[in-house]
Amino acid sequence: MKILVGYKRVVDYNVRVQVKPDGSGVATDGVKLSANPFDDIALEEALRLREKGVAEEIVIVGIGPADLTAHLRNGLAMGANRAIHVTTDGAPQPLTAARTFLKLIEKESPDLVILGKQAIDDDANQTGQMLAALWGRPQATFASELAIADGKATVTREVDAGLETIEAELPAVVTTDLRLNEPRFIKLPDIMKAKSKPIDVIEFDSLGVDSGDHLKTTNYAPPPKRSKGEMVEDAAGLVAALKQKGLL
Amino acid sequence: MSERETMEYDVITVGAGPAGLAFAIRLKQLKPELNVCVIEKASTVGAQILSGAVIEPEPLNALLPEWGKNPPPICVPVAEDELWMLRDHENASKLPTPPQMHNHGNYIVSLGALCAWLAPQAEALGVDIFPGFAAAEPVFDDHGAVAGVRIGDMGVARDGSEKPGYTQGIDIKAKVTVLAEGCRGHLSKQLIKKFALDRDSDPQTYGIGMKELWQVPEGRVTPGKVVHTLGWPLDPKTYGGSFIYHLDDNRVAIGFVAGLDYEDPNFSPFEAFQQLKHHPKVKALLEGGQILSGGARALVEGGYQSLPKTEMPGAMLIGDAAGLLNVPKIKGTHQAIRSGMLAAEHVAEHGSSEGFDRALRESAAVAELKKVRNIRPGFHKGLWFGLFNAAWETVTGGLSPWTLKNRADWSSLHRLGQYESPKRDYVDRDLPPRDRLASVYFAATEHDEDQPVHLKVSDTNVCITQCAEEYGNPCTRFCPANVYEIVEDEAGKRLQINAANCVHCKTCDIKDPYQIIDWVTPEGGSGPSYQNL
């Protein structure tokens, strides 16, 4: 069985994200970029399926500029068999990403596609769902457990009411939630091995995907600053202050 | 336990800073057939590098003659120099700029960004760079020579047990190990001790540097302007000063350095830095702006007389791991690159570390240090004597027949009661950050809480008994990241180490008066994540 894994590069979760002074976006110069944490979880789950003997080949997919190679090498060092790099200077929106994946699915015919439930930069949470719809295959989102048997995926989903277990016929799209697994550390010798693993480079334009802007970003702004607090003498002072603000 | 994995290289470099990367680049230029790797504890190259930084370009010109065609992302030619004496919290006088501090022809850079820019150039030459892997300890061969390093284990719990993702660190064996860890390197410290490399030199001395990168309102920045200040908020007995470098895009790098030979146990370098920002000369620049990134790092100040022997069997020290920073110039990057290149040329020719110390001492790097050797120690006698002495040493070109001594920074701290803290003339602050915890936020430091504490205090009883009485726990003040706290609960007072806050500055390892704090590497990839510092 072949598994396709989405492997997006985002501003590291630990970075204090800063809006550019002109409001045109988020500053990424000199900013640490790393794999979307949910995508690392997706890759880890694929690796575990391969270690269990369920899967044979894991292909990671990245869509982005030329320097995405180093990021894909990390995924290969973690254990993916090979990578596909769709090169584009733009940042694809979810629908474009889903359409791109669909094109790759037509080429690769995977039995399972595992994506992060969302990327931590735009937090859209759409690509997996859109891809399943475009592909006409089942989706199992927010997975916290995944088992594959007899051409079916049994997925425990994290839903508002608790946990829901569903069965999906393969091929299918699964998106990962935080508790699915804890990704492994990359081992140094594996970084060396990853250097010789193949990365197929495909130009985005050659895929014939409609990249029209479905969403238009008008402005970025940081959340309003919290104004300075006010010290009150005692409980009576607090009550008076709250009343003054019309909160009591 | 399974057999530990091993990788072999001709040469391993510890630390992807300017020295380590210059070394690797130069070695591959000379001997492309050698296998060279660089390991780096930060998760990306440059993320744990903090420096002013105004750099002299000559060594970079020698290393990469074409560098100007594709300059690093932050690279502003110096346009003007100013030196100010801050007389108190509101007054200042402009001083003539001493010759060492003339920066015509130099560049203001972010050293972190510069290293992140150097790394791919090293990789293009075939150097393997491994960020996120910390060298936990040296590895020795049967004859006791350094034979490489052991990478720290990943996935160890706080209590030392193995977590589910536990991954054993591998050994990287190499014919030559190059220590380019920067100031107070953790392996360098062990090896200097083991091989008694400092037997014939004075103790190394240090300073603590703190830096913030600000985005300020339009119209205040003069790109290329370099300002240094002396005086307030430091008392005349404490060495130090500030730097204010005007970058492009309305950005300003502001920083403050205090000599770690300060005597006052109640002194807080962090507070002094924050005070400095409120001097009217500085505040007018920053007010209404915001901090983009900030952090702290110790720097070497010992110079010529504190330079240890820089070679040992199987290994060598370069850059600030050796201690090559030029204090009067307030620069070390050119020295780091220079020593890295020299070390590479030595290894290319001789294939070993043997003879490197002599080559370094005969080089321009050490000649430069020798010339200014008496300037920094002159400040032991206070600011005014120090300035007078500096003028003398500058005029005579360092030809004085004497060499002033350095002594260890931890020994300079006076005991409570034996020292009257000077009246500090501090002001009320309102610029960010409010306190050290707010400051650590700008360093974006991160350590998995469930890992062994990487600040090893060998005897925590001393903290509550002897130190509390003698020095009033100075660790709670000299640490810029609020790692050390004395807390009180039912069991009484105890030292609490907030290791997750640590920004890897090494000040505690240096200044602790009992020398019982040992900074060791945390899990690889942990620590601050600086942006353009």
Query: Would an 8 Å CB–CB cutoff place B262 in contact with chain A?
Result: no
B311-312 and B315-317 beta bridge pairing: antiparallel
Is B329 found in the same domain as B446? no
| Mean pLDDT for the stretch of residues A46-68 | 97
Is B58 found in the same domain as B156? yes
pLDDT band at A210 (very low <50, low <70, confident <90, very high): confident
Output the domain CATH number for residue B338: 3.50.50.60
Instruction: Give the Cα separation of B166 and B347 in Å (integer).
Output: 36
Is residue B161 annotated as part of the catalytic site, yes or no?
Answer: no
pLDDT the model gives residue B64? 97
Query: Which of residues 205 through 244 in chain B touch A, CB cutoff 8 A?
Result: 215
**Per-residue pLDDT tens for A145-192?**
999 999 999 999 999 999 999 999 999 999 999 999 999 999 999 999
B44 falls within a domain: yes
The domain spans of chain A are: 2-244
B414 falls within a domain: no
Distance from CA of A134 to the nearest CA of B (A): 37
pLDDT the model gives residue B504? 98
**Per-residue pLDDT tens for B393-428?**
999 999 999 999 999 999 999 999 888 888 888 999
Please report, for residues A233, A236, A241, B376, B429, the alpha-carbon distance to residue A230 in angstroms, rounded to integers and kept in the order given. 10, 14, 9, 47, 17
Is residue B467 annotated as part of the catalytic site, yes or no?
Answer: no
| Cis peptide bond prior to B233, omega within 30° of 0 | yes
Is residue B183 annotated as part of the catalytic site, yes or no?
Answer: no
CB contacts, 8 Å: B532 with chain A: 29-30
Q: Is the distance from CB of A173 to CB of A140 less than 8 angstroms?
A: yes
Is B463 found in the same domain as B332? no
Instruction: Give the Cα separation of B207 and B48 in Å (integer).
Output: 17
Is B511 found in the same domain as B439? yes
CA B452 remoteness from chain centre: 24
pLDDT the model gives residue A231? 85
Instruction: Give the Cα separation of B34 and B345 in Å (integer).
Output: 13
Is B189 found in the same domain as B321? yes
Instruction: Give the Cα separation of B322 and B313 in Å (integer).
Output: 15
CA B108 remoteness from chain centre: 18
CB contacts, 8 Å: A188 with chain B: 7, 130, 133, 151, 170, 172
Is B394 found in the same domain as B444? no
Instruction: Give the Cα separation of B245 and A200 in Å (integer).
Output: 45
Is B367 found in the same domain as B386? no
pLDDT the model gives residue B2? 61
pLDDT the model gives residue B39? 98
* A2-244 has CATH 3.30.1360.80 classification: no
B489 class by beta-carbon count within 10 Å (0-12 exposed, 13-18 middle, 19+ buried) = exposed
CB contacts, 8 Å: A32 with chain B: 43-44, 47, 529, 531
Written as one letter, the residue type at B496 is Q
Stretches where chain B sits below pLDDT 50 are: none
Output the domain CATH number for residue B500: 3.30.70.20
- The count of C-alpha atoms lying within 13 angstroms of the C-alpha of B492, restricted to the half-sphere facing its C-beta, is 4
CA A95 remoteness from chain centre: 14
Q: Which of A16, A184, A188 has the CB atom closest to B151's CB atom?
A: A188
Q: Is the distance from CB of B442 to CB of B529 less than 8 angstroms?
A: no
B426 class by beta-carbon count within 10 Å (0-12 exposed, 13-18 middle, 19+ buried) = middle
Is B364 found in the same domain as B386? no
Q: Is the distance from CB of B484 to CB of B275 less than 8 angstroms?
A: no
Q: Is the distance from CB of B193 to CB of B282 less than 8 angstroms?
A: no
Which among B297, B373, B376, B424 is annotated as catalytic? Answer: B297
Is residue B505 annotated as part of the catalytic site, yes or no?
Answer: yes
Interface predicted TM-score (ipTM): 0.86
- Among A24, A32, A41, pick the best mutation site for testing chain B contact (most B Cβ within 10 A): A32
Q: State the residue range of the domain holding B395.
A: 375-403
**SS3 per residue for B373-438:** CCHHHHHHHCHHHHHHHHHHHHHCCCCCCCCCCCCCHHHHCCCECCECCCCCCCCCCCCCCCCHHH
Is B46 found in the same domain as B127? yes
Listed residue (B126, B182, B141, B521) closest to B325, CA to CA: B182
Is B123 found in the same domain as B197? yes
Query: Which of residues 177 through 196 in chain A touch B, CB cutoff 8 A?
Result: 182-189, 191-192
Residue of B nearest to A70 (CA): B120
Which among B310, B376, B508, B529 is annotated as catalytic? Answer: B508
Is B174 found in the same domain as B117? yes
CB contacts, 8 Å: B130 with chain A: 188, 191
B128-131 and B311-312 beta bridge pairing: unpaired
Is B27 found in the same domain as B139? yes
| Mean pLDDT for the stretch of residues A204-215 | 87
- A182, B164: Cβ pair inside 8 Å? yes
- A182, B5: Cβ pair inside 8 Å? no
- Total structural domains in chain B? 3
Q: Is the distance from CB of B7 to CB of B170 less than 8 angstroms?
A: yes
pLDDT band at A28 (very low <50, low <70, confident <90, very high): confident
What is the helix (H) or strand (E) element at residue A87, kind and residue range? strand A82-87
Query: pLDDT > 90: what percent of chain A?
Result: 80
